[in-house]
Chain A
């Protein structure tokens, strides 16, 4: 046996599993597909953890009780969640931070421009890469063997029991194993296949950008589902998807490529038409639906248009927007048909019923007699200079995964494996059937990573006892 516990993956969930297993006394080896510079998967792009708490706790203000967290999750997933596992994640989120601190993670007060989550989300000082760095340092101190550039191609199972993993033709045996190698969001071929062809004959996924790592190819996920017949959860087209700047890089654009001015203006598609209520709710509650909305538009592209009144009211975008002194000129610069564009903008401007504008409340500025309506923060776009930002769907992570239970076990034909466990994006779909709420990915990864690590260590130690007896 090369090691007691083999952890496949190198992000938050994998590291939580490795740390817990090492703390439980197991010998642990961690296989990270990426080279050291790119280690940590999507966790390196995260910034916070959604946490329940009954009273103010250091960086978290007021209270965010279990029930409220659960209701939030229920709402965003539209019921596509497992209440038992969801509540397990929620409760774990209330108690995991002292453990995280012990492994070197620091928290900071909410970032400027993110005060609305001061109650619900604990921010990592320096963001997710600082967290990942701290966990790797702690893992090294605990004797975890870390191997970079070690993508696992396949694993060997015997009657649902993990036996070995194959890395670049080399076999690594272990008494137990944690799968935490991410979703398949970086695999553009798989995304294309999952999204298929639409009624316009387009392959929508060809126009998606990947907000995170290029290393989440889903190799193991597909291997487990197709070759080993592991029980599955989730729809392959469901993902945490936001509308991001169309100029973002194909991979690893991360947080800075988001466009936060949607609710302050209008959004039009390639035909110059509006297609959704930009002011439906506070942007933090709506940003996660816009990736899908844009994915449904022709060419999978849209343009957020604002005027000078919006400047300074939203997080500054990473790339400067197209700027023009008139709306006609802006249409030209955005490459949109000026007639259709002006028709939409004029109709919108005429339909605005401006009350008392207040971006911090669901205000009374709305449109009348316009379809689709803009129900809040509707003010005419009439003050030069005008700005336009092209948007594309940005995939954060996919929800198709392995079905699991409260022990994090991988299941085959409804039966839990005794020594194969799963954590992070590979099983997030158990809790997130669709939709997203900020920071919940890290809550799931941390909770299930820790469970999987503990379970894997126990399985390995049981195996050790059995071997000794034999």
Chain B
């Protein structure tokens, strides 16, 4: 019966020239038809107000809404049609499934989109390769992983230019791949979101929504759901710790780069220097944030999100945790004989993180920001619907 429905759907969309929906996309369309006739959840987030501007849900609308959804869980617990109801509405879950597909579909180069599907394996292989690369290089250069005369200066092991030569291309590629992926997404969803160009106020609102993680607030500011129908602010707090910790670490590296190239000050820097202060606080924040997110993820309600994406979520959290942990360990153990090993492990983790940025959980931030930008543009445009009801 379902197969028949899928075939009918396909025939109909082929006849109308509209793109064929995948099964998860058709499921979102089905659920949105129910939600649009109910609308109780309008106050929770951006998805439902965006939904009410539509009567039908095409592929681009579905991609847009799926990436707008923050998987906060509020609408699932409030839903009169959630399982075991026969309508089986679970918006966070169906949106997550489409979201996973969009990451793969919009990946650049397209062939690498498959890396999303087995993301746990992707991350493991990247990490193993990163570790092997730097451990072997350290051995080759230093002759040993547990000693040598490095004197706390890791440029003696890996010269600055060697590190730049290894990391810059990988990081540059990651940025390029993410940019091209999100550009493709933007081009698809823009016509479906009025096509109006991005304005200053719309951009400012979307940036504010991102930086404050507005939509993990539940609409009332008391937070979103994790293990049950009670609200919690801890998902937002741990995400903030992770996100801002990541930014602080990034800032530490950027400042150090400026020191190196502009001011000619070489590492290692003192504990009270700006790169160190930024890096240490960022590292600790990242450690706390990822540990918290992991703990919450383990306790997450089984109906939230797409179970198939758990390895991707947890793999990314674990890799961020490992990166900050090894970074902090390196700082503490710099004067010991473990320097070479610690450095190699840290650089291996960072390399794995950079290499997989465009093909893992990191992409959610990029695509969601794009969706929020389109949402803040769209909501400023007039709607042509004039609904009245009971």
Q: Are B43 and A114 in contact (CB under 8 A)?
A: no
> For residues 345 through 369 of chain A, which have their beta carbon under 8 Å from a beta carbon of chain B?
359-360
Is A260 a contact partner of B389 (Cβ separation < 8 A)? yes
Q: Does B42 contact A (CB under 8 A)?
A: yes
Interface locus among A169-177, A185-193, A230-238, A313-321: A313-321
Decide: B389 and A126 in contact? CB cutoff 8 A.
no
- Taking a contact as CB atoms under 8 Å apart, the answer to whether A313 and B389 are in contact is no
Tell me if B198 is interfacial: C-beta within 8 Å of chain A: no
Output the least CB separation between B209 and chain A (Å): 18
B177, chain A: closest CB distance, angstroms = 38
Bound: A125/B219 CA distance, A? 8
Query: A438: CB under 8 A from chain B?
Result: yes
Min CB distance, B43 to chain A, in Å?
A: 3
Complex contact A284–B389 (CB within 8 A): yes
B43, A108: Cβ atoms closer than 8 Å: yes
A116 at the B interface (CB under 8 A)? yes
For A108, list chain B residues within 8 Å (CB).
42-43, 219
Q: Which of B49, B55, B85, B386 contacts A316 (CB 8 A)?
A: B55
Asked whether, in the complex, the Cβ of A283 is within 8 Å of the Cβ of B389, the reply is yes
* A284 neighbours in B (Cβ, 8 Å): 388-390
B390 proximity list for chain A (CB < 8 A):
114, 242, 258, 260, 283-284, 287-288, 438
A313 near B40 with CB under 8 A, answer: no
Does any Cβ of A come within 8 Å of B37's Cβ? yes
The closest CB in chain A to the CB of B42 belongs to A111
Shortest Cβ distance from A109 into B: residue: B43
Q: Is the Cβ of B389 less than 8 Å from the Cβ of A129?
A: no
Interface membership of A219, Cβ < 8 A: no
A38 to B82, CA, bound (A): 10
Q: Which residue of A lies closest to B54 (CB)?
A: A316
CB-based nearest A residue for B75: A126
Q: Which of chain A's residues have a CB closer than 8 A to the CB of B385?
A: 312-313
Contact A252 B85 (CB under 8 A): yes
Residues of B within 8 A of A106 (CB): 43, 219-220, 222
Decide if A126 touches B44 in the complex (CB within 8 Å). Answer: yes
Tell yes or no: A128 within 8 A of B by CB: yes
Residues in A with CB closer than 8 Å to B220 are 106, 125
Q: Across the interface, which residues of B come within 8 angstroms of A320, CB to CB? A: 33
For residue B204, CB closer than 8 A to chain A, the reply is no
A96 within 8 A of B: no
- In the complex, what distance in Å separates the CA atom of A260 from the CA atom of B388? 8
Q: Please tell me if the beta carbons of A313 and B386 are within 8 angstroms of each other in the complex.
A: yes
Known: A254-B38, A256-B37, A317-B37. A113 touches B43 (CB 8 A): no
> What residues of A have a CB within 8 angstroms of the CB of B75 in the complex?
126
B80-A113 in contact (CB<8A)? no
Interface residues of A in 19-53 (CB under 8 A from B): 37-38, 44-45, 47
Complex contacts, B74 vs chain A, CB 8 Å: 126, 130
Interface of chain A residues 123 through 158 with chain B (CB within 8 A): 123-130, 133, 137
Instruction: Give Cα distance in the complex from A283 to B388, angstroms.
Output: 8
Question: Which residues 366-390 in B have Cβ within 8 Å of A in the complex?
Answer: 384-390
Residue B17, interface by CB 8 Å = no
- Answer yes or no: A332 CB below 8 A from chain B CBs: no
Is A137's CB under 8 angstroms from B230's CB? yes
**Looking at chain B's contact residues, is the secondary structure mostly helix, strand, loop, or mixed?**
loop
CA distance A129 to B55 in the complex (A): 25
Contact (A130, B230) CB under 8 Å given A47-B40, A113-B388: no
Question: Which residue in B43, B81, B86 is a CB contact (below 8 Å) of A126?
Answer: B43
Q: Which of B3-43 contact A (CB under 8 A)?
A: 33-34, 36-43
In the complex, whether B208 has a CB less than 8 A from a CB of chain A is no
Q: Which of A229-274 contact B (CB under 8 A)?
A: 242, 249, 252, 254-258, 260
Whether A315 and B387, one on each chain, are in contact in the complex, defined by CB atoms closer than 8 angstroms, is yes
Q: How far, in angstroms, from A315 to B84 measured CA to CA in the complex?
A: 26
* A residues less than 8 Å from B37 (CB atoms): 255-258, 315-318
Decide if A126 touches B388 in the complex (CB within 8 Å): no
Residues of the B chain whose Cβ atoms lie less than 8 Å from the Cβ of A317? 37
Contact A113 B389 (CB under 8 A): yes
Q: Is B79 in contact with chain A by the CB < 8 A criterion?
A: yes
Chain B residues whose C-beta falls within 8 Å of the C-beta of A133 in the assembled complex: 77-78, 229
B52 within 8 A of A: yes
Known: A260-B390, A315-B37, A359-B386. A112 touches B80 (CB 8 A): no
A308 at the interface (CB under 8 A from B): no
A311 within 8 A of B: yes
Contact of B38 among A125, A255, A314 (CB under 8 A): A255
Most buried by B among A128, A252, A254: A254
| Residue contact B39 to A112, C-beta cutoff 8 Å | yes
Complex CA–CA separation, A249 to B85 (angstroms): 10
Of B43, B49, B55, B80, the residue contacting A125 (CB under 8 A) is B43
A69 to B240: give the CA distance in the assembly, Å: 47
Q: B residues within 8 A CB of A114?
A: 39, 389-390
User: Can you name the residue of chain B whose Cβ is closest to the Cβ of A44?
Assistant: B80
Is A112's CB under 8 angstroms from B77's CB? no
B134 → A minimal CB distance (Å): 50
From 79 to 108 in chain B, residues with beta carbon under 8 angstroms from any chain A beta carbon are 79-81, 84-87
Give every chain B residue within 8 A of A137 (Cβ-Cβ).
229-230
Q: Interface readout for A306-330 with B: 1 if CB under 8 Å, 0 if not?
A: 0000011111111010000000000
Closest B residue, CB atoms, query A318: B37
Which listed residue (B41, B55, B219) contacts A127, Cβ 8 A? B41
Please name 20 pairs of A and B residues whose Cβ atoms are closer than 8 Å in the assembled complex, sorted by A: A108-B43, A109-B43, A111-B39, A111-B42, A113-B388, A123-B43, A124-B40, A125-B43, A127-B38, A127-B78, A133-B77, A255-B40, A260-B389, A282-B388, A283-B390, A312-B386, A316-B55, A318-B37, A320-B33, A360-B388
**10 interchain residue pairs of minimum CB distance:** A127-B40, A126-B78, A108-B43, A256-B37, A113-B387, A130-B78, A318-B37, A315-B389, A133-B229, A106-B220
Please name 10 further chain A to chain B contacts, defined as beta carbons within 8 Å, in addition to the given A125-B219, A249-B87, A284-B388, sorted by A numbering.
Answer: A47-B40, A108-B43, A112-B42, A124-B40, A128-B40, A252-B80, A255-B38, A256-B38, A313-B385, A313-B386
